[in-house]
Homo-oligomer: A and B are copies of this chain.
Amino acid sequence: MGKEISDETVGVVLGELTFDAQGLVPAIAQQHDTGEVLTLAWMNRDAIAETLKTGQTCYWSRSRKKLWRKGESSGQVQRLVEFRYDCDNDAVLLMVDQKGVACHTGRRTCFFRAVRGGKVETIAEVLVDPKTLYRS
């Protein structure tokens, strides 16, 4: 991120953003140099503040109902390159540098199902065995 983000700027961002009834906004993560869309996840206020302050993406896990520091168990972290949001202030775009693979299936991106040639296909290969990602 270069210069550290001040509490004042974090406050400006949180003040401009609009959160849904669950206190969340959808957040797209995009690899900053290749443009590949990696994930769509959700952030609450705390996740946004932590992401801006630490420079590492932190989401809100809707299934586990807690902050989810991307890569905390798999090591596949996302370094924040730039934090952006949209005209309606209700969606976030995180330009990131993804280490390894973004998807829990071991693929680079979560968006690996596609309609091609009139049929649904899997268009990305598994690069890392998920068992090696989540061994404890």
A interface with B by C-beta (< 8 Å): 1-6, 9, 12-13, 16, 26, 28, 30, 34-37, 39-40, 52, 82-89, 91, 93, 103-105, 107, 110-120, 123
Contact = CB atoms under 8 A, between A and B. Distances in A.
Contacts of A88: 110
A114 B28 contact: no
A133 to B, nearest CB: 13
A120 B34 contact: no
B83 A110 contact: no
Nearest to A41: B91
A5 B85 contact: no
Given A37-B93, A93-B37, A113 B6 contact: no
